[in-house]
Structure formats: C-alpha cells, structure tokens
Chains A and B, each alone.
Chain A
C-alpha cells in the first residue's frame, strides 16, 4: 500500500481542493504575484504620474535617475557599511555566546530567556531608548558619553554628530536586534551535535580549541552559513532600525538605507514616485540576489573542501 490518501478522483475532488485553497490563492495572486510583475512594469514606465496614472514612455530612465540620485548613492553606501560590519560581528559574537552558553549548566535557561528578549520587542520603541542613551543634548551628554569621558575621551554627539558616530550607533543597534535569532539558532545547532563526538575527541586527547575547529565548527557550519546568508539579506533590508534612532527623515540625517529610499520615493515628503521606488527596489534585489548566490557558491565550495 502506498501512501495515497482517500482518492477523491474526478472533478469533485479537484473542486474541493481548489475551494479550500481559494482564499489563500486570491490573496497571494492579488498581493504578491500581480505586484511582483507590476513592479517591473512600473520600473520601466517613464514619468509615471500616480495621480493621473499616466506615463510618457518606456525605457531605462528610472534606473539611471535612481543611480544618479545622491540620496540613493548615500543609501547604498550606508547599507553596504551596515552589512559589512554587522553581519560578521553579530555572527561571531553569537557564536561565542552560544559556545559559552553550551559550556555551562546553571542559569542557562535564564540567560537564553534574557538573550531572546530583543526579538519580541518593538524595534521602534527600543530604538528610542538607544537614541536617548547615545544622544548629546545641551542639558546632558547622555549616558554613553559619560562613559566615554570616564575613559578620558571627549564626548561625541552620536545622533546628530559626525557620520562615523551615527553609523556606529546604527551598527550597534542592528547587532543588538539581530542577536537573539542568531544565538537561538546556534545554540540549538550546538546542542544537536552528538556528545559522543566530544567524548571520543577527549579520549583521543584533543585540546578544547582543536575540538572546536575540527569537530564543532564543521558540524554546525551549515547553520552558520544559513545565518550568514539570512544575515546579509536582513541587513540589506534594514530600515526600521534606522528610523527608530534617527527619525523618519533619514535623507536629512544622511542615514537612509536602500529600503528607506524605496519607501521615501513611494510615500512621505519626497514621495509619489512609484516608478523610481520600483527601480530602486529592483536594483536592491539584484544586489541581494547576487550576494546570496555568491554566498551559496562559497558555502558549497567550503563544505566540499571540508
């Protein structure tokens, strides 16, 4: 007997199946499939006017406009810096924390619970707290600056001050936000490594570092690659973290991200240009796709070597 189910052959069965799926299908077609096609169309419609829903012509002007727009270039730069710093740092930090978690018994549950908290909190709300901690105002230098001054350095305005300082806060906040997911995944990956391997290695007299590089790391490497890939994708799509710290007008702060640029083009003070937004979104996803493919190739090569 093969696993077949009760065969409701014929029209009636097919009708039932599609009926059960109808709501999901309707929503998906209307809010995912059609928009996916439409975004490409928008991106090639030149001079689209959202009020009259008319356009002059078809061509690549939207793309060239976006690529020459200094705000977009700033957003690309910001996004890339964000990706380059936050992905490796958060992944390595999460790995260290997970290893430390794995080496203790007492309080483990408590630490895991605490570490997961940022995942369930509202990005906008906690971002406000970060802003206050880092901010320098005429009244007070803010807590972080007091700490810096205690080490004998001078205070910096992290929120409205120099670019590097603003970038630093954003990176710190993004890392703080993405850590829970990474720690969770890596801790469960580490926990799923069969302890027999560790016992065997200890009998063979392998040192802790050797055990880590020769046994643990290869065994959890699929999960690390998964985290790196999703980390890249996530960091490229960063937006609400920046809004949380620098406010809605990210272009003015010089802290916009690529996704932020898309939304600003769509709606807001500089908005009303779905064509530019579409072109920018498609450029963004071309970049994300390329990076993901490179990541996949690298991960495949590495795992083959290993």
Chain B
C-alpha cells in the first residue's frame, strides 16, 4: 500500500487572539512507495509529528488529500484507515497486562471482523512472538524495561495487521545501547512484515541507518526525499546539507572569480563553472586531504584521535561554525606545523549553495 500526499497543509489557529497562525505542514506532495521503511526527518518543531498524526487520522488536514493506494482516506476516521501507531513514550495502558494491551485494539472490532477471545489471544501471541516478548505476556508495563515496553507498543500497533505502520520518535526514550539494538529490531520487523512504515525522528543518524528512504522537512516545508546516501551526497540546499552528517558539513563564505573558487585568499578549486560572486561553500569532513602545500590554510587548534580516524580541529576566518572539522585516516596524519595546517579539498565532497536562496549550485 503506497501512501500519497497531495497538497497536504495543516494550519493551527493561533493560541491567543494577537498571535499569528502556525503553518505546521505546508503543501506536501509526495508518494511513499509500498513496503518501504521511510524516515521522516527534521529538527524539533518542524511539523513532522503533525504530519504523522494527519496520516494516521488524529489531526484533520486544513487542505489537501491523503491516499492509501487509490483510496482517498482524508475524511476517513483513524480507526477505519488501518494504521498502527507507536508513540515516543509508548503510551501503554499502565493498568493492563502486556496481553491486555496487545488485545485492546482487537476488542474494538465490530461486525464481521469481530473476534472471539481465543482468536484475540492467538493474534496477540503472534504479534508478541514477532517482537520477541511472548514470555512477558502477564507483566504490567511498569514492570518492564524501556526496550521491552517499546516492543509491546510495536506489537500492539501490529496486531491488527495495519496497512501502514507509523512511529513517532520510537527510539528517543531509549539509552544509546538499546537504541542501536532496537533500530535493528525495527528494521527486522519491518522486513518480516513488509508493512509500509513511516517513522519520525530528529536524529539524522537514526534515519540514515535504517531507512530505505528519508524525507527531510523544515518549518513545515518539504525539502528532499531520496535514499539516505543520495540525500547525503546530493543535498538540494544548504539546510539539508547541514542537517545530515556527523560531524556536520563545514560551511565557508566563499567567492567565485573567473571560474575559480576562493575561500578568503586561498584558491581551493578551479574549473568552477558558475558565474562570479559570493557563494556558500560546504565541505564534508571527509572532503579534506592533508597536504603541506595544500590550498586551504587553517589555524590548528587540536587533533582528536578516534581510533581508525583522526579528526583535525582548526579554524579559518571564513568559516561559519565554531571550527573546521576534518576527518583524516590515521595513517595519513603528518602534521608539519604546530599552529597551522593546509588542506586540499575533494571535488566530490564540496558543495556550493546560492548566497541568497541557499539552493544548491551545480558547478560541473
């Protein structure tokens, strides 16, 4: 079941009379292909949860349409859409056991869909087995770890065999180790069931690591949708470039003169096929090559050795962040001076953006 959004918009009325309206989601158009795991990515407050709530029917869109396959579900209530939802804080019913929590959605089925108690328990057990908590069926949520609660929440969302599974920041309440483990688990469950899954996160690493596709949004506006690596290599604008990758991309104020790219006085790249003028120049941390005669001169502030790789921290007058971070493989680390460092830069890791619109400028 693919999910198609057409001109989807959500405007919240202002809280008080003086305040202005908040456009949480602005004119979204995209199609989520069937059976994929999609990461909906953006900074906090960018409208991604609103978007998720509209897809599952908890919020009504101000305008626009939502289609599941060919069916327009915009005006269909939540429970008839066949969606499963997993919450950030799991939202398990604290007074019910795991079994009762998982069977709860099944108890609401009416008419032909109505199930007997045995059938409900059977289905609950199947769902519990899928997420490997079938040994904990009689516990209460309060007696379980965060990771286990998360699995119960997923089982509860899956038990009705939803057409679309939605997850709102599913990993953010877990500690670092569990997070890694659980995201693999989500990947596995999604593959095993083949249910189209959309999950919301503000953690780009999380989104990149398990998604088939990611959708990046900012201030309610759609930015880009593609496979994670494609978005990383080929961002459409400065925001997307900055949002993806750790350490973050290094952004410099640069100028193009006679098809040559200058950062300050240093000519760092030639054959830049764009018109003269100031641009933003983004260089990925792995885009630096250490070279005693390199074109870009920076002041050295420190070296962090992180096992396989080494991160060189330096500063440059034209940089926009606090420092320039470059990742060099440990073998290549040969520093010639204590207080300065020179780099050449890799063409494929260097991205130019318009100074005004911050849109991508392709220079080849």
Residue numbers in B under 8 Å from A4 (CB-CB): 12, 59
Q: Which of A1, A2, A7 contacts B60 (CB 8 A)?
A: A7
Residue numbers in A under 8 Å from B15 (CB-CB): 2
A6 at interface, CB cutoff 8 A: yes
Is there contact, CB below 8 Å, between B58 and A6? yes
A9 at interface, CB cutoff 8 A: yes
Q: Size class of A's contact patch? A: under 10
Tell me the A1-50 residues at the B interface (CB within 8 Å): 1-2, 4, 6-7, 9
Total of A-B residue pairs, C-beta within 8 Å: 14
Residue numbers in B under 8 Å from A7 (CB-CB): 59-60
Bound-complex Cα distance A6 to B58 (A) = 6
Query: A91-113 toward B: CB 8 Å interface, digit per residue (1/0)?
Result: 00000000000000000000000
Residue numbers in A under 8 Å from B53 (CB-CB): 1
Residue numbers in B under 8 Å from A6 (CB-CB): 58-59
Query: How many residues belonging to B are interface residues under a CB distance threshold of 8 Å?
Result: 10
Counting chain B CB atoms within 10 Å of each CB, the highest count among A1, A6, A9 belongs to A1
A9 touching B60 in the complex, CB below 8 Å, given contacts A1-B49, A1-B50, A1-B53: yes
Question: CB-nearest residue of chain A relative to B49?
Answer: A1
Majority DSSP secondary structure for residues of A touching B? loop
Bound-complex Cα distance A2 to B60 (A) = 15
Query: B43-63 toward A: CB 8 Å interface, digit per residue (1/0)?
Result: 001000110010000111000
Tell me the B181-218 residues at the A interface (CB within 8 Å): none
Bound-complex Cα distance A1 to B89 (A) = 15
Question: CB-nearest residue of chain A relative to B44?
Answer: A1
Is there contact, CB below 8 Å, between A2 and B58? no
Question: CB-nearest residue of chain A relative to B77?
Answer: A6
Query: B13-51 toward A: CB 8 Å interface, digit per residue (1/0)?
Result: 001000000001000000000000000000001000110
Bound-complex Cα distance A32 to B60 (A) = 39
Residue numbers in A under 8 Å from B12 (CB-CB): 2, 4
Question: CB-nearest residue of chain A relative to B12?
Answer: A2
Bound-complex Cα distance A7 to B60 (A) = 8
B62–chain A nearest beta-carbon distance, Å: 11
Bound-complex Cα distance A10 to B322 (A) = 51
Residue numbers in B under 8 Å from A1 (CB-CB): 24, 45, 49-50, 53
Bound-complex Cα distance A9 to B75 (A) = 13
Question: CB-nearest residue of chain A relative to B51?
Answer: A1
Bound-complex Cα distance A1 to B25 (A) = 11
Bound-complex Cα distance A6 to B79 (A) = 13
Bound-complex Cα distance A1 to B10 (A) = 12
Bound-complex Cα distance A9 to B59 (A) = 10
Q: Residues on A close to B: CB < 8 A?
A: 1-2, 4, 6-7, 9
14 A-B contact pairs sorted by A residue (CB < 8 Å): A1-B24, A1-B45, A1-B49, A1-B50, A1-B53, A2-B12, A2-B15, A4-B12, A4-B59, A6-B58, A6-B59, A7-B59, A7-B60, A9-B60
> Top 4 nearest A-B pairs by Cβ distance?
A1-B49, A6-B58, A1-B50, A7-B60
Q: A6-B58, A6-B59, A7-B60 are in contact. List 11 more A-B contacts (CB 8 A).
A: A1-B24, A1-B45, A1-B49, A1-B50, A1-B53, A2-B12, A2-B15, A4-B12, A4-B59, A7-B59, A9-B60
